[in-house]
Amino acid sequence: MSDYEHIVISAVRYALGRMTYIVELTVNYILEEIENDELSDRCLDVIRKDIKEAKDYGMECDQKQWLKLLKRIEEVI
């Protein structure tokens, strides 16, 4: 994986469980990168696993964001 993909994964890990604007910002950024085909399947698989293994998604609105991203990742890999 590229350094860029490692940074994206780090952003996801930072945002998971947070209850701030960073969740939606992170999810929307990654969704855009998926549409632009900028992230490898390997990177997306790591993100998918991180989301699935998260113990806390934050508030309900945050959970909806993470599940939206998870669904999209599962559609493309």
Tens-digit pLDDT profile for residues 5-61? 999 999 999 999 999 899 999 999 999 999 999 999 999 999 999 999 999 999 999
Domain ranges of the chain: 3-76
What is the pLDDT, as a whole number, of residue 61? 95
What is the pLDDT, as a whole number, of residue 26? 98
For 1-77, where are the alpha helices, taking DSSP H only? Answer: 3-15, 21-35, 41-53, 60-76
Taking CA atoms, 62 is separated from 25, 39, 41, 74, in Å, by 11, 22, 24, 18
What is the pLDDT, as a whole number, of residue 42? 98
Q: Are 61 and 22 in contact (CB under 8 A)?
A: no
Overall average pLDDT of the 70-77 stretch: 98
Please state the pTM of the whole predicted model: 0.95
